[in-house]
Amino acid sequence: MTMPVMAYDQARSEMVLMGWEVGSNFTRASFRWTGTGWTRSAESGGPLTVGFALSYDPATKGLLLFGGFNQSGSDRDETWQRMLDGWKVAAPAHHPAGTGFLSTSATPDQDGVLLLAGCQLWRWDGTDWSQTSAGVGVPGPYLFRTRDGTVFVFGLKPSPSQETNEGVWRFS
């Protein structure tokens, strides 16, 4: 598998691994880990894209997939949701520009998802994207949410609402 992305689906209690089949003609591969081993997912639907962001969405209790690029290398700006009945494309009123190689994390208060797309920080509330006021200093930063709910951002410009420590900021 190339360009894999992984997220834990809390609603289904399973880890999901997605990417391209090696040597295939742009075929998506999806696997699930339920605690005892990896199983190929027989799920249909969902985007044929790679380089996307994948995260658990606490607002909808499903997985959220955004962006990436298709087989011809074009950026995608679609938002997909994996609910208990499968993958469905969402229709938010607003969304980030299409791009690949993204980073996501649940929000500190567990009511949505944060997305770093290029040099922009976005927030998903379960139905729509909104751009936050936080500015990003360099493309390709990363988000990480700790067990206590703190979200650390690597590559974000410091502001009064963010604490800095050698290039790592706590998002609040």
pLDDT of residue 22: 66
pLDDT of residue 156: 47
Number of CB atoms found within 10 A of residue 84's CB: 9
Number of CB atoms found within 10 A of residue 9's CB: 19
Comparing 17 with 150, the larger pLDDT belongs to: 17
pLDDT of residue 34: 78
Under a CB-based contact definition with an 8 Å cutoff, are residues 141 and 160 in contact?
Answer: no
Under a CB-based contact definition with an 8 Å cutoff, are residues 120 and 136 in contact?
Answer: yes
- What structural domains does the chain harbor? 2-143 (2.120.10.80)
How far is the C-alpha of 109 from the C-alpha of 58, rounded, in Å?
10
Quote the DSSP letter at residue 158.
P
Average pLDDT over residues 140-152: 68
Q: Which range (1-10, 46-55, 150-159) has the least confidence? A: 150-159
Q: Which range (83-97, 119-133, 134-148, 155-169) has the least confidence? A: 155-169
Write the DSSP string, 73-106: --B---EEEEETTEEEE---S--PPP-SS-EEEE
Under a CB-based contact definition with an 8 Å cutoff, are residues 38 and 56 in contact?
Answer: no
Quote the DSSP letter at residue 166.
T
Comparing 116 with 60, the larger pLDDT belongs to: 60
pLDDT of residue 138: 46
pLDDT of residue 85: 77
pLDDT of residue 90: 94
